[in-house]
Amino acid sequence: MSIHADTYQELILELAPKTVQLVAVSKTKPNEDILALHALGQRDFGENYVQELVDKQASLPGDIKWHFIGHLQSNKVKYIAPFVHLVQGVDSLKLLKEIDKQANRNNRIIDCLLQVHIAQEDTKFGLDAVELEEIVLQRSAFSSVRICGLMGMASFSDDLEKVRGEFQYLKTLFNEINAKSAFGIDSPILSMGMSGDYKLAIELGSNLVRIGSLLFGERNYPAV
Ligand SMILES: *Cc1c(COP(=O)(O)O)cnc(C)c1O
């Protein structure tokens, strides 16, 4: 077993009192690693390659909640629409439209987070504040998706002050939208924080962290 079981248990103890949800990011990792974590009680897993997610979903336990966590191409939505639990990373109106269409075809409501571009460096996908507001204003046109919150990725940087500022910015946008009761659920989700910055993210208001390498070890091929 190549997962870090002790780290997992510590993380669960750390997150539980703060009611922060853990999504175990299993991209590039084999099914046996996912099963090992599943045996310890983990049910929420995150992937960001469509084909890999489809293959894993077909062969792993049906009680797993699959999160799609990165940039999703519109033409691939149809492959995950039948089962995806939460699409973390809606970064365009076009994509939201397509998710709505495919959700409707599958007779379901698909939960989504809007991804905001918060990193000053790195070219990461995401909406700017204006695009975010546009989508929020148009949300009622999409009856088969539910916008449950926001997601963001900070700069991959040792500069903690910079990362802090980026998380704070996302939290501010989240609060503004929440104040207008524009999220579709009672307890909206703010997804921020990965292996290297999750503690800071939680301090700044995250209630969902996406953690890969801390649990599964370093990935052997690059993430996206
Ligand atoms: C890979 C990935 C993660 C997890 O990254 P780690 O640093 O391994 O914890 C989180 N979020 C997204 C969107 C990712 O692509």
Q: What is the pLDDT of residues 182-206, one digit of tens each?
A: 999 999 999 999 999 999 999 999 9
What per-residue confidence (pLDDT) applies to 73?
97
What per-residue confidence (pLDDT) applies to 218?
86
| Helix, strand, coil % in the chain, rounded to nearest 5 | 45, 20, 40
- H/E element holding 131? helix 129-138
What per-residue confidence (pLDDT) applies to 221?
62
What φ, ψ does residue 8 adopt, rounded to 5°? -60, -50
What per-residue confidence (pLDDT) applies to 1?
55
* Chain mean pLDDT for the chain: 95
Q: Whole-model pTM?
A: 0.96
Atom of ligand 1 nearest to the CA of 224: 15
Question: Is 215 in contact with 44 (CB distance < 8 Å)?
Answer: no
Question: Is 27 in contact with 212 (CB distance < 8 Å)?
Answer: yes
> Which residues in the chain show pLDDT less than 50?
224
Question: Is 217 in contact with 14 (CB distance < 8 Å)?
Answer: no
**What's the 212 CA to ligand 1 centre distance in angstroms?**
6
Question: Is 24 in contact with 212 (CB distance < 8 Å)?
Answer: yes
Candidate from 49, 69, 198 with most ligand 1 atoms within 8 A of CB, to mutate: 69
